Amino acid sequence: MLEIRNLHVTVEDREILQGIDLTIRPGETHAIMGPNGSGKSTLANVIAGREGYTVTAGEILFDGKDLLEMTPETRACEGLFLAFQYPVEIPGVANLYFLKAAVNAVRKYRNEPPVDAMDFWELVQERMKLVKMDESMLKRSVNEGFSGGEKKRNEVFQMAVLQPRFAVMDETDSGLDIDALKVVADGVNALRGPERGFLVITHYQRLLDYIVPDHVHVLFNGRIVRSGGKELAVELEEQGYALYNEEPGRARRAA
Amino acid sequence: MTDSTSTLERLAASDYKYGFITDIEQDTVPPGLNEDVVRLISAKKQEPDWLLEWRLQAYRHWLTLKQPEWARVEYPPIDYQALSYYSAPKQKGDGPKSLDEVDPELRRTYEKLGIPLAEQAILAGVAVDAVFDSVSVATSYKGRLAEQGIVFCSFSEAVHEHPELVRQYLGSVVPYRDNYYATLNSAVFSDGSFVYIPPGVRCPMELSTYFRINASNTGQFERTLIIADEGAYVSYLEGCTAPMRDENQLHAAVVELVALDNATIKYSTVQNWYPGDAEGRGGIYNFVTKRGLCKGRDSKISWTQVETGSAITWKYPSCVLRGDNSVGEFYSVALTRDYQQADTGTKMIHIGKNTRSTIVSKGISAGHGQNAYRGLVKVLPTAENARNYSQCDSLLMGDQCGAHTFPYLQIQNPTAQVEHEASTSKISEDQIFYCQQRGISTEDAVSLIVNGFCKEVFKELPMEFAVEAQKLIELKLEGSVG
């Protein structure tokens, strides 16, 4: 469903991604692991369409459509979701109101009428349980004054309500204690299914104990230097990323 | 950054949607101002001698005054002799007996503006005292209100039917010597609204009036007087919009509120007068004096305003907190775009003991808009334990606009507690991208964020008005996108 081919991306004339190839099929969960500065978040942002990144070569196809041609909101309406590493605060806008605006924007794109208030409320109630979210969070302004854990939980909650076909989780584990991590992972796992794809970006293997991926890729200096099954994550945790620094030859071979 | 800045600028530049001129015959006094014109206005309204005398005193005092120049606004000098000081829609006979008799052209104008007159008013539960230019032409709900002893009528009518109340309170909050524009208004005011709520009565509906400027070169000098007697409550709504014009139109209204013991007055305004075109030509000059007197103990006056129109807004709805334990509030959203200028704020004058005031001001500037908050908090020696909280937030859209804050504090009692908070922010790219990633378009994201910014003020507005205000802000920020 997501095909990345030979993707090269620069930020302020510096090449951050240097030829990424990655194919994710429906129902698959892929993990991208890598040290700081390897280009993980750049990849997430380019997929979602954030400004400030220049694609110098390559393409990304989403169900065969050229993703890079679409505006960020069109990508979202097409069923692409990004769980932000740093969810943004929007003062004065109630979480529930924001979510309804998002749901209706997607429905409008699909030529569907605005969501029925009762149906929406029922969906929200049900999805809140997935991430053990308190109802009071619906009334609070979007992410304003939320703790780190609450913000990440809110991202998963939004995803659960919007029900995208493909989701990118950008370091969803950062800043979470083990309990919050479990809650977030349970939420993600509940959404996994044969039609939905996930790209989980993380620095640590810890998250992958709870969201067990089908494939693991190691991103290093803007390239995928190694791909494998879930056991690769364990190996990385034991050996660290330093290996790739010392043995560029091996890294290239593995890629 | 450059991309999103230009998007914001594009969004901020939108057309005035209520620009049209009604073709209606006007009974207009020739331009110019002198004692004879003042006498003529008074005569046309068959006013008692004391009122004419009051007007003439104001006029003579006005001649000694100079136009104030301290506000952070710029405009060419106004030729007061080129203005006409009275204009009324012509009516056959003695005026309409019911809404059916109101000039159809006039009613179509109201419909275009979406004003809920007559049936619409009943549906909305709003009594409308519609002001077309200077004279009230239709009043609804009067009967129901009269049953409770509530007086809600045009100012001219009040002069004839409740002269004792008018005489007692006219100029008691804003004296005719108050300031240049208030003095001019006192001399030549045409009409406006009058409200009296008797002791212990809670007005069962929002009282509403709609102003509209229509005649070319006609100054508008509305005068509103609202009195809430002991233990009374009233919520009053004022909303306005005006047709497209090339010449600048002057509007110098005066609003006086009086709250006696335990009385509460809530006064809400949504202002959407013609702001001028994208280059700053035309547009209304809005120089308004609004002041409330918390005369009795435990009284409360609350101003809420959403200012989106006019080329220039010069307006400081204020509270004089004379009664012990009285409360003054000011909630404001002022939006300026293109070449609009707004210098607005409030004055909270603490005189009584344990008086409290709250100021929440939200300024939004886009395009070349200039937005100034000017506020005075004054605590007199008599005001033991006075408290004030002020919050001034500015939101900038684009890099050509400006936001300015001028808080003045004059504290003469050491027991006073005064807090002031101010912030200036821009809509961030991160916020817009976050909305976009959830499927929300840039334009909707901007209005979502701006409405969030204004929320503390909007929640003070009555429900229907809050919805209207939100729509108005969205409309104002709407551009070529979508």
Mean pLDDT of B254-275: 91
Mean pLDDT of B260-286: 84
B381 and A CB contact within 8 Å: no
Residues in chain B with CB shorter than 8 Å from the CB of A50 are 433
pLDDT single digits (tens) A179-229: 889 989 999 999 999 999 999 999 888 899 999 999 999 999 999 999 999
Mean pLDDT of A31-47: 93
Q: Which residue has the tokens 């990424």?
A: A20
Q: Among partner residues B435, B439, B448, which is closest to A77 by beta-carbon distance?
A: B439
Q: What angle do CA B233, B234, B236 make, to 5 degrees?
A: 165
Rounded to a whole number of angstroms, the distance from the CA of A73 to the nearest CA of chain B is: 4
Bridge-based pairing of strands B284-294 and B249-251 is parallel
Tokens of B132: 């077309």
Higher pLDDT, B237 or B326: B326
A117 and B CB contact within 8 Å: no
Could you tell me which of B49, B80, B75 has the C-alpha nearest to residue B63?
A: B80
Q: So what's the pLDDT on residue B15? A: 54
| C-alpha to C-alpha distance for A121 and B435, rounded to whole angstroms | 21
H helix runs in chain A, sequence order: 40-48, 72-77, 95-109, 117-130, 136-139, 148-162, 178-191, 206-210, 231-239, 242-246, 248-254
Q: Which residue has the tokens 């136009």?
A: B67
Higher pLDDT, A231 or A43: A43
What DSSP string describes B224-252? EEEEE-TT-EEEEEEEEE----SS-EEE-
Q: Among partner residues A51, A76, A141, which is closest to B452 by beta-carbon distance?
A: A141
Task: Put residue B430 in one of left, alpha, beta given phi > 0 → left and psi -120 to 50 → alpha.
Answer: alpha
Specify which of A10-14, A131-135, B214-218 reaches the highest per-range mean pLDDT: A10-14
Quick one: how far is CA B221 from the chain centroid?
Answer: 12
pLDDT single digits (tens) B185-240: 999 998 888 999 999 999 988 887 544 343 333 457 889 999 999 999 999 988 75
| C-alpha to C-alpha distance for A105 and A99, rounded to whole angstroms | 10
Specify which of A228-242, B88-102, B353-367 reaches the highest per-range mean pLDDT: B353-367
DSSP H helix total and E strand total for chain B: 12, 23
Mean pLDDT of A157-180: 93
Residues in chain B with CB shorter than 8 Å from the CB of A82 are 437
Confirm if B7 and B477 have CB atoms less than 8 A apart: no
Q: Is the pLDDT of residue A62 over 50?
A: yes
Q: Among partner residues A71, A88, A105, which is closest to B431 by beta-carbon distance?
A: A88
Could you tell me which of B169, B138, B165 has the C-alpha nearest to residue B151?
A: B165
Confirm if B316 and B305 have CB atoms less than 8 A apart: no
pLDDT single digits (tens) B128-155: 444 444 444 344 566 678 889 999 888 8
A91 and B CB contact within 8 Å: yes
Widest CA span in chain A:
59
Q: Is the pLDDT of residue B325 over 70?
A: yes
DSSP H helix total and E strand total for chain A: 11, 12
DSSP bridge pairs for A194: none
Give the nearest chain B residue to A74 (CA atoms).
B439
Q: So what's the pLDDT on residue B142? A: 67
pTM: 0.78
Tokens of B320: 């004089």
Q: Among partner residues B3, B444, B455, which is closest to A92 by beta-carbon distance?
A: B455
Using the beta-carbon criterion (under 8 Å), do B441 and A76 form an inter-chain contact?
no
Using the beta-carbon criterion (under 8 Å), do B451 and A92 form an inter-chain contact?
yes
pLDDT single digits (tens) B417-441: 999 998 888 888 899 999 999 999 9
Mean pLDDT of A39-51: 95
Higher pLDDT, A236 or B320: B320
Q: Is the pLDDT of residue B477 over 60?
A: yes
pLDDT single digits (tens) B353-410: 999 999 999 999 888 888 889 999 999 999 999 999 999 999 988 778 888 889 999 9
H or E stretch at B193: strand B193-197
Write b or e for each residue in A84-94: b if 16 or more Cβ atoms lie within 10 A of its Cβ, otherwise e: bbebbbbbbbb
Q: Is the pLDDT of residue B69 over 80?
A: yes
Q: Among partner residues A72, A88, A101, which is closest to B448 by beta-carbon distance?
A: A101
Give the nearest chain A residue to B457 (CA atoms).
A92
Rounded to a whole number of angstroms, the distance from the CA of B341 to the nearest CA of chain A is: 26
B3 and A CB contact within 8 Å: yes
Tokens of B5: 């800045």
Lowest mean pLDDT segment, chosen from A99-108, B192-201, B265-274, B323-332:
B265-274
Lowest mean pLDDT segment, chosen from A47-51, A235-239, B296-300, B391-395:
A235-239
Tokens of B330: 């000011």
Tokens of B182: 């208030």
A162 and B CB contact within 8 Å: yes
| C-alpha to C-alpha distance for B89 and B251, rounded to whole angstroms | 18
Lowest mean pLDDT segment, chosen from A60-74, B270-284, B337-351:
B270-284
